[in-house]
């Protein structure tokens, strides 16, 4: 396998020994034959900039969502989510998030430390970020919705899109990338 590192006069080129290509100590890596799959077919991006809070201990919908229509049932969808201005009103409060397809299929639940407010008890003064990335295989060619659901895991109130007590100045995003299947 030929490798090249770009960098002007300091460019490095060479050949990676075949023994390294099949190293079994590396896990969760999918190698594709040349010219097969892995190409980005389309990108959809959405944003949400409204300050929201919840005290619910059951999952509720958020408006951090995006729609995509895969071109093939073998396509994968790479979901990139950035929740900004997340936090809580107590030092021990935190939120839990999950990614849901078509508002019916739970895909992945994320750590309940997301939204931890850093130890203050003086109200929603923190604005942290939580990033969620997931490669999904929806096996569909119909319009598919991805959405973040959220709930309070601990404490009184948790929120999204708050920054240093200035509501509505942060924007959470979701980007969907259709990747050609293999």
Q: Residue ranges per domain, the chain? A: 35-179
Q: Model-level pTM? A: 0.73
pLDDT for 180 beyond 80: yes
> Average pLDDT in the 102-129 region?
67
> Average pLDDT in the 118-124 region?
51
Bridge partner list, 42: 178
pLDDT band at 6 (very low <50, low <70, confident <90, very high): very low
- Topology, domain 35-179: Jelly Rolls (2.60.120)
Location of structure tokens 């009184």: 156
pLDDT band at 86 (very low <50, low <70, confident <90, very high): confident
3-class DSSP assignment, residue 93: coil
pLDDT for 110 beyond 50: yes
* CA distances (Å), origin 168, targets 8, 16, 81, 122: 44, 50, 18, 20
Question: Mean pLDDT score of the chain, rounded to an integer?
Answer: 77
pLDDT the model gives residue 12: 42
Report the C-alpha gap between 145 and 142 in whole angstroms.
10
Two structure tokens written together for 55: 């005290």
pLDDT for 141 beyond 80: yes
pLDDT for 122 beyond 60: no
pLDDT the model gives residue 16: 44
pLDDT the model gives residue 73: 95
> Average pLDDT in the 110-114 region?
64
pLDDT for 17 beyond 50: no
> Average pLDDT in the 99-113 region?
86
Most confident of 31-35, 95-99, 103-107, 113-117: 103-107
């Amino acid at each position: 396998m030929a490798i090249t590192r770009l960098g002007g006069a300091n460019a490095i080129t060479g050949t990676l020994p075949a023994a390294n290509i099949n190293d079994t100590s590396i896990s969760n890596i999918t190698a594709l034959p040349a010219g097969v799959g892995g190409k980005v077919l389309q990108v959809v991006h959405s944003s949400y900039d409204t300050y929201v809070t919840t005290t619910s201990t059951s999952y509720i919908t958020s408006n951090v969502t995006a729609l995509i229509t895969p071109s093939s049932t073998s396509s994968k969808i790479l979901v990139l989510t950035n929740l900004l201005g997340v936090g809580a009103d107590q030092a021990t409060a935190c939120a839990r998030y999950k990614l849901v397809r078509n508002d019916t299929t739970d895909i992945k639940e994320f750590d309940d430390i997301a939204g931890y407010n850093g130890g203050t008890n003086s109200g929603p003064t923190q604005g942290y970020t939580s990033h969620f990335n997931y490669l999904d295989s929806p096996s569909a060619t119909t319009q598919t919705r991805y959405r973040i659901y959220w709930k309070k895991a601990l404490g009184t109130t948790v929120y999204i899109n708050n920054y240093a007590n200035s509501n509505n100045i942060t924007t959470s995003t979701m980007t969907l990338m259709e990747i050609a299947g293999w």
